[in-house]
Chain A
Amino acid sequence: MKKNKPISRRSFLKGTAAGTAALAIPVGSADASVWEAFFQQHFQEMDDDEKATVIARLEKEYKKRYKKDFSIKTTEAMPGVLFGYGLDLSRCIGCRRCVYACVKENNQSRDPQIQWITVLRIEKGEKFVSNLEEADKYYYPEKVPEDEYFYMPVQCQQCENPPCVKVCPTRATWKEPDGIVVIDYNWCIGCRFCMAACPYGARHFNLKTPRIREEEINTNTHYLGNRPRFQGVVEKCTFCVQRTRGNPGRYPACVEICPVGARKFGNLLDPDSEIRYCIENKRVFRLKEDLNTSPKFYYFFAT
């Protein structure tokens, strides 16, 4: 099925392409890459050659936009790996360094601002496990931590049973074999059904063309991860797929930056990994367990 479908589709599209192209684009301004982008296939349906062509085109496009040479990887999931994340609530001091490290690493738009990590400030003793109504993401004290509050960072929980994937009308978002939920930013139609479905506010919409200063752009990217996005598409945390897929891989930017070591990351299938140690030795819980989304993002209290 996977082999037949794209071919018949492609031949169909070729026919219409010529027709619509002649109609819609005035002669002379027809830039071939515009049409290649328009008819680009779904990432999962492309073979290696097609991926290479698309990557080359994207690198050219980004170079034009940001005046820098990009590298866009398409590294696949490694066998025997299922990524898991741990967050020690007793250590988090609410400094938001993770938020900004993430923005920088993952090329999030600075105007309008998009942040994949939301740090919630919660008054000690207040409810927070399944009801976040008392949580506040707009806190600006002179110094953190504050005595009367604790902090809970929330980002994509990389659910094993992701409601966002279920509702996407075009299969533009899916769960990879290593458990990361990704989006093909060239296939998303921007209907935002996934945002309504996500219980963790982890999905963000590009209300306009994302703006990032040239000197701040990260050119080391992954197709499914931190490559620059487009106006009108949804984006989300990918556990820094551009860093973590590799042997040796790197920690996600948020894990690396955390000044108090509240963030843990590793392979859930490796019994010797730090994340497995946390799960086995700490009392972990996951956000909104009643929704049965089965996140691979574990909160715990180490001290």
Chain B
Amino acid sequence: MKILATNFLVLLKEIGRGNRYYFAWVALLALLICAGAAAYMQQLSEGMIVTAIRDQVSWGFYISNFTFLVGVAAAAVLLVVPAYIYNFKPIKEIVLFGELMAIAAITMCIMFVVIDMGRIDRLWHVLPFIGRMNFPSSLLAWDIIVLNGYLFINLTISFYALYKMANSKEYNLNIIKPLIILSIPWAVSIHTVTAFLYNGLSARPFWNASILAPRFLASAFCSGPALMLIVFQIIRKVSKIEIENRAIFKIAELMAYAMGINLFLLAAEFFKEFYSDSVHLAPMEYLYFGLHGKDNLVPWMWSAMAFNITAFFIFLRPQTRENLFTLNIGCVLIIIGIYIEKGMGLVIPGFIPGTLGEIYQYSPTVIEKIITVGVWATGALIYTFLLKLAIPVTTGELRFARKEEPLRAS
């Protein structure tokens, strides 16, 4: 018991230390979280009327962010596969940081779904056994299971490895290898199930296309890694962790393939809708050209397309993807491009035109935006703290106290 308390203090102490940049960053995040929490309090007391969500467009910015972040979480698998299936050592050394990002991303996903609920006090109704979870009929029930399962798997893998390292022990790969292997199909499943959430609704032709799940996966394997590559470069800059360029370039190469597939699938969708020119074309028309003069997403969608295509060529050419400057440009383009495409660009056109033909142009309110930023800040803070602990553990600077030994944290 005592040893536990001592080690907890070791961790707390580590989080409470850092240079002024670290504190400025944490303070900024804390500020944003407070703003988000205050805005959410307002939404709780006044109702969803403070958002731009209406009967016509019944899901908005929160569910858009949720969808994007499921992709980010699923992307950890892009590191796991080369690391553990192909034993590519440079990536193996950084898998942990990818898994920690998945933890932060899943946490944000769960937060986004929860803040989108009209009755948070009834959250327990969805729990299996305690509430009345509609499994297997409701895809939302599936999503609850796979998302929490993925969170559990990643927590177990990364915390086990860190715990062993913190106790100066070699961790036994045989114990967690099955979990690591399991995490691969599981990562695919979280994104597939999230796609099926939309995909299964025959009332919404834009979502009711079998290409949806494959496209989700392809775009996830661009956006998640793009975020990771940027974080990895920050990690190696601010810590003693060495992340080889080789690892970064390998991931970039995989991203090029994923983006290629994503663009191909988009082209397939374009062809099918525009060539057959049926009533189901309307949402696509709304997205890219405007419908009945309503066109507030058009500039966003074309920007997303330009960003994604540019990024594709940056990552395709070895010269540009192996140049950190152009690589980072590509990463930023992908993050923005996919954020538009798999966020608002996916959720909103499902509702436009509405089932009774109405076109309600949704655009999030300030309160929705503040709450959303608050959730992102929470995720960033979680990831910051996880890294703050994981980095010194991996480099050997942070070790747990053994039985009666005094503290050894440097």
Q: Given known contacts A118-B356, A133-B357, A170-B126, is B119 in contact with A189 (CB within 8 Å)?
A: yes
Residue B118 interfacial (CB < 8 Å): yes
**Chain A residues with Cβ under 8 A from B277's Cβ?**
none
8 Å CB contact of B357 from A9, A120, A234: A120
Q: Which residue of B is nearest A172, CB measured?
A: B125
In the bound complex, do residue B119 and residue A170 qualify as a contact, i.e. CB atoms below 8 Å apart?
no
B133 to chain A, nearest CB (A): 7
Stretch at the interface among B196-204, B248-256, B298-306, B336-344: B196-204
In the bound complex, do residue B133 and residue A191 qualify as a contact, i.e. CB atoms below 8 Å apart?
no
- Please report which residues of chain A, range 181-198, place their CB below 8 angstroms from some CB of chain B when the two chains form the complex: 187-193, 195-198
Residue A112 interfacial (CB < 8 Å): yes
A193–B117 CA distance with the chains assembled, in angstroms: 10
In the bound complex, do residue A207 and residue B53 qualify as a contact, i.e. CB atoms below 8 Å apart?
yes
- Binary B-proximity of A131-142 (CB < 8 A = 1, otherwise 0): 111111100000
In the bound complex, do residue A232 and residue B119 qualify as a contact, i.e. CB atoms below 8 Å apart?
yes
**Chain A residues with Cβ under 8 A from B282's Cβ?**
133
In the bound complex, do residue B355 and residue A199 qualify as a contact, i.e. CB atoms below 8 Å apart?
yes
- Please report which residues of chain B, range 5-23, place their CB below 8 angstroms from some CB of chain A when the two chains form the complex: none
Q: Which residue of B is nearest A290, CB measured?
A: B202
**Chain B residues with Cβ under 8 A from A190's Cβ?**
48, 117-119, 122
12 CB contacts below 8 A, A to B, read: A167-B138, A169-B144, A170-B125, A189-B126, A192-B59, A199-B203, A201-B55, A201-B358, A204-B55, A207-B54, A208-B47, A208-B48
In the bound complex, do residue B118 and residue A231 qualify as a contact, i.e. CB atoms below 8 Å apart?
yes
Q: How many residues of B contact A (CB 8 A)?
A: 49
**Chain A residues with Cβ under 8 A from B131's Cβ?**
170
A224–B49 CA distance with the chains assembled, in angstroms: 24
In the bound complex, do residue B201 and residue A196 qualify as a contact, i.e. CB atoms below 8 Å apart?
yes
8 Å CB contact of A205 from B58, B140, B141, B279: B58
**Chain A residues with Cβ under 8 A from B133's Cβ?**
169-170
**Chain B residues with Cβ under 8 A from A13's Cβ?**
130
Residue B353 interfacial (CB < 8 Å): yes
In the bound complex, do residue B355 and residue A201 qualify as a contact, i.e. CB atoms below 8 Å apart?
yes
Residue A200 interfacial (CB < 8 Å): yes
Residue B139 interfacial (CB < 8 Å): yes
- Binary A-proximity of B103-118 (CB < 8 A = 1, otherwise 0): 0000000000100111
A197–B53 CA distance with the chains assembled, in angstroms: 16
Residue A90 interfacial (CB < 8 Å): no
In the bound complex, do residue B130 and residue A9 qualify as a contact, i.e. CB atoms below 8 Å apart?
yes
**Chain B residues with Cβ under 8 A from A200's Cβ?**
355-356
A41 to chain B, nearest CB (A): 9
8 Å CB contact of A189 from B123, B202, B356: B123
- Please report which residues of chain B, range 184-239, place their CB below 8 angstroms from some CB of chain A when the two chains form the complex: 197-198, 200-204
- Please report which residues of chain B, range 105-162, place their CB below 8 angstroms from some CB of chain A when the two chains form the complex: 113, 116-119, 121-123, 125-126, 129-134, 137-141, 144
**Chain A residues with Cβ under 8 A from B116's Cβ?**
191-192
Q: Given known contacts A169-B138, A191-B140, A198-B203, is B48 in contact with A205 (CB within 8 Å)?
A: yes
B355 to chain A, nearest CB (A): 5
Residue A75 interfacial (CB < 8 Å): no
Q: Given known contacts A154-B356, A207-B47, is B134 in contact with A171 (CB within 8 Å)?
A: yes
A199–B202 CA distance with the chains assembled, in angstroms: 8
In the bound complex, do residue A168 and residue B355 qualify as a contact, i.e. CB atoms below 8 Å apart?
no
**Chain A residues with Cβ under 8 A from B119's Cβ?**
188-190, 230, 232-233
Q: Which residue of B is nearest A188, CB measured?
A: B119
**Chain B residues with Cβ under 8 A from A226's Cβ?**
none
8 Å CB contact of A193 from B48, B54, B138, B351: B138
| Sample of 6 further A-B pairs with CB below 8 A, known A169-B141, A200-B355 | A170-B132, A187-B122, A189-B119, A205-B58, A208-B47, A208-B49
Q: Given known contacts A170-B132, A189-B125, is B118 in contact with A134 (CB within 8 Å)?
A: no
Instruction: Decide if the interface of chain B is mainly helix, strand, loop or mixed.
Output: loop
Residue A14 interfacial (CB < 8 Å): no
8 Å CB contact of A171 from B123, B132, B279, B351: B132
In the bound complex, do residue B122 and residue A189 qualify as a contact, i.e. CB atoms below 8 Å apart?
yes
In the bound complex, do residue B55 and residue A193 qualify as a contact, i.e. CB atoms below 8 Å apart?
no
**Chain B residues with Cβ under 8 A from A133's Cβ?**
279, 282, 353, 357
Residue B392 interfacial (CB < 8 Å): no
**Chain B residues with Cβ under 8 A from A191's Cβ?**
113, 116-118, 140
**Chain A residues with Cβ under 8 A from B130's Cβ?**
9, 12-13
In the bound complex, do residue A193 and residue B203 qualify as a contact, i.e. CB atoms below 8 Å apart?
no
A12–B129 CA distance with the chains assembled, in angstroms: 10
A187–B116 CA distance with the chains assembled, in angstroms: 16
Residue A291 interfacial (CB < 8 Å): yes
In the bound complex, do residue B126 and residue A168 qualify as a contact, i.e. CB atoms below 8 Å apart?
no
Residue B46 interfacial (CB < 8 Å): yes
Q: Which residue of A is nearest B355, CB measured?
A: A201
B70 to chain A, nearest CB (A): 16
A159 to chain B, nearest CB (A): 11
A42 to chain B, nearest CB (A): 5
Q: Which residue of A is nearest B113, CB measured?
A: A191
A118–B201 CA distance with the chains assembled, in angstroms: 22
Q: Which residue of B is nearest A199, CB measured?
A: B203
Q: Which residue of B is nearest A170, CB measured?
A: B125
- Binary B-proximity of A116-144 (CB < 8 A = 1, otherwise 0): 00101000000000111111110000000
In the bound complex, do residue A195 and residue B58 qualify as a contact, i.e. CB atoms below 8 Å apart?
yes
Residue A250 interfacial (CB < 8 Å): no
Residue B364 interfacial (CB < 8 Å): no
Residue A38 interfacial (CB < 8 Å): yes
Residue B354 interfacial (CB < 8 Å): yes
Q: Given known contacts A134-B357, A209-B47, is B201 in contact with A163 (CB within 8 Å)?
A: yes
Residue of A118, A137, A207, A209 with most chain B CB atoms under a 10 A cut-off: A207
**Chain A residues with Cβ under 8 A from B59's Cβ?**
192, 196
Residue A97 interfacial (CB < 8 Å): no
In the bound complex, do residue B356 and residue A196 qualify as a contact, i.e. CB atoms below 8 Å apart?
no
In the bound complex, do residue B356 and residue A132 qualify as a contact, i.e. CB atoms below 8 Å apart?
yes
Residue B350 interfacial (CB < 8 Å): yes
A38–B131 CA distance with the chains assembled, in angstroms: 12
